[in-house]
Chain A
Amino acid sequence: MKKTIKINISGIIFHVDEDAFVILDAYLNKLKKHFTNKTEGDEIITDIEYRIAELMQLKINEQKQVITIDDINEIISIMGKPEDLFEADEEMNDNSSNESHGFQSKKFYRDIDNNVAGGICSGLSQHFNIDPIILRILFIVLAIPLAGFPVLLYFILWIVIPAAVTTQQKMDMKGGNYTVSDIEQSVKNEYGKVKDNFKNFKDSDRYQNTRENINQAGNGFVEILNFFGKLILTIIGITMIFAGISLIASMFGAFVFSDSVMFWTYTDQHHFLIPDFLFSIVNPKSVVLVAVCIVILIAAPIIAIIYWGLKLTIRFKANDKIISIVASVAWILSAIILLGIGLFEVKEYAFSTSIDDSIEMELPENTILYINSSTNIDDFSEIYFFEEGMDVYSHEEYPDRIYLEPELSIKYTSEDRISIKLEKEARGATNGKARKNAVNIEYNWHLKDSVLTIDPLFYHENKDKWAFPELDIVLYLPRGQKICVDKDLECTFDYAERADNIWNSNIPGNCWVMTRDGLDYP
């Protein structure tokens, strides 16, 4: 069984086998391409079609209704191969022979007849007439140092480039007798053509009295534009491919490796992984979904960039419509899902609750209170969630914990005892959950003799998820109490009332005495 196609040649209908049709169509297209710029071209093609119709008429009878591939091959051999025709038709030959097997006549398809995997290397080798083995070796050699990105590119091409299935596609894939050395030749030809045309253009510019000359000038100009247009498009295309690949690379970096080129980390001190970030704010159950959506949201436009870059660089035929529809739908869908999850997650932070712990401290009269930091903050590694403002730290020994900076303020109290108040605040879906989260805020400090040692960081068990914990430490001092604040507490220290109302930046590192109006110089 064979599929036939109904065609109309010179007003007569023929049934033609599909493979025969492909050959006939290619034959006529080749002729058309050759004669296309000539006024008489259409007429010649019409005449040739009449003759073909006549010859086909002779091939069919009562028993044989369908034109086969053999018939077409015979008819073509009667009419003459395009090369034979053009050779005889020398006058026309000189203009268009370069085009007839130029760069344009080939399209990039996956060669699934000689494939190892997706037929990409084989297809490329057809495109450039190189031995596929060379490309395959090159591919493997490049894949290792480039961390497998060629593999990624391979899969993208595999998805995007259609396979050469039909005879027409296979012919398009193989194109003319085109070899690598011909690329150089072709560029030279093209350049030569442009130069000639430019000369024509200049000549005709001088003698523009005839219309023909102006036409030539136009053609020359168009050729120049074409040439540079192609060149520029190719350069843009290659740039797009590289930009796309490096964007993909940095995205993978952000998701997989700790030091990424993109997002919020820029030196190797800052380790920030998107998955970690997600785990700390999103419900663990939806982390994977959110991650997938984010990947699609970022990757789809990047892949689009690579795709159009490829499209500009190597001509290939693909169903752009379907690809772009699928990509857009995926993109919109992930945007909607992210928005949905986002709204859902926001609910988890609806309520905010704070708990206060107040502890009074006993100190002998006239003792100076020394306040210092228990550990150095440098032992912790900082996570950059956002550029600045929110400093979040992690510690290697306790991966479940997130460390944050408390804020220390010093206030006056009318009582006669020193007291310390911890204001713990956290968020949650309900008041109860917010309270539980607030209770989970852990903070260590101790008073020994007259030395108050406080941690520079408090921590929150990150079992559930990010609860936006906050801690304010308020130190209440009675009148006359002397205090020396260690310089290490600069990060922790937030605010103190001061008798002279001067901005209190130098409080850590100095000694003070509490007055009714606030801290004052001793």
Chain B
Amino acid sequence: MLLYLQKIRKGIFCNIIIPFCFLSNGMGVSFMFPAYFITKNQIIMENDKKEESKKTPFSRMIMDDFMLLMFLGVTIYAIFYLLWGVMELSNLPAIPEEIKAALLK
């Protein structure tokens, strides 16, 4: 019985972590997309001969635009590291009353 309960507890953890990972994978893929686009797709599509187009490829435009890169770098860092971290630190609960009561009775 205990083992089963422990499994459920682990399952709850699983249910938080794994879906989050899928979510983050999704987000990650959308970030990886430019990286993929630049490295993998170009490698795979190398045999497709594209004629010299007047406008530069999208990924090259991003690569050359350092102000855009700065904006993206600062934003990704600010959201995932700073904002998310600060939000978590601001939302911590207090020590549960039962624990305090057991000691201070």
A and B form one complex: no
- A residues adjacent to B (C-beta < 8 A): none
